[in-house]
Amino acid sequence: MLNKISAKMAALNSELDYRRKLWQYAPKLPALEPGDRIIVDTLKREGICITTLANLGFDSTPKLLDAAHTLLPNIGKDIYTNSSQNPPEIYTVTHLPNFYTWGSEQRLLNILEHYIGLPVAYHGVQIRKDFLNTSQFSTMLWHRDSEDRRIIKIIIYLNDVEEKHGPFEYVPASFTSIYNPNFYRLYYKIYNSGINDETLNKIVPKSAWKSCQGPAGTVIIADTQRLLHHGTVRTQERSTLFFVYTANPPKRPGLCTQYWDDTYPKPEVLQEIR
């Protein structure tokens, strides 16, 4: 009993300290360009903002795309079967300038800092290819991420993504916020593992789910702690980039190392991209 009380007190103190830091840092937030305020406001309201590389207009975008499309032919060369569970191929490319530079564009960091409310930690970037699957497993189960109180993942589609490619899908924040009874119905179900479509449909009807289909160059900026989300089953491959950001430092820094350490490979072909 004493240990439980101590743990709850520690959690409360941590939350109060977090709120204090938000209040103290608010006057130090950087200036935003007028169009970028729309992205911040949408993130605060919805927990997600969908745009395009063209709309963002970063100077580093051409080199980012050149590097990504140079790598893609070398990913997924193994023979994949009709198995219901083909794991994706994921490569960490944080160390490569053409990838890292796009994710550290100052305008982008300013946008994310306004949403997160604190100095931003840019953890890294991964390129991945997802293959055909007929059943839900791993990140295709509905889940929330837990690296921090606010986690921004930026997903860039490298090919056109329709339903057959397994688009990113989420439940609007209003259906699962802490003020909605669904939050408590879902909390323990997703605490240790994700849940499948059938289970979620009994709590939040499928008609409320949002599928993020879009052409190559679509950019999804999402708070993956706030939003219940997953990747859907697919009958065709999907290629994406994932950029990851939290407050600096995050609540659980040990969960963030996978975006730059050796959790995922950095094969020689990646080393050749400059």
Greater confidence (176 vs 222) lies with 222
- The model's pTM is 0.93
Helix axes 106-116, 34-46, angle to 10 degrees: 40
Looking at the structure, tell me whether residues 19 and 132 fall in a common domain: no
- DSSP code of residue 195: B
Considering the domain architecture, whether residues 12 and 41 belong to the same structural domain is answered as no
Query: What is the domain-level CATH number for residue 203?
Result: 2.60.120.620
Amino acid at 1: M
Show the domain range for 5: 1-30
Per the listing, tokens 């609540």 go with: 251
Domain shared by 91 and 105, yes or no: yes
pLDDT tens by residue, 239-260: 999 999 999 999 999 999 999 9
Q: How many CB atoms lie within 10 A of CB 229?
A: 26
Are 111 and 6 in the same domain? no
Asked whether residue 83 falls in the same domain as residue 155, the answer is yes
pLDDT digits (tens, 9 = 90+) for 120-159: 999 999 999 999 888 888 888 999 999 999 999 999 999 9
One domain, residues 93 and 77:
yes
**Shared-domain flag, residues 15 and 51:** no
Angle at 153 between CA 248 and CA 114, to 5 degrees: 55
Return the SS3 of 123. Answer: strand
Whether 12 and 110 map to the same domain: the answer is no
DSSP 47-95: SEEEEEHHHH--TTHHHHHHHHHHHGGGSS-SPP-S-S--PPEEEE-TT
24 with 119, same domain: the answer is no
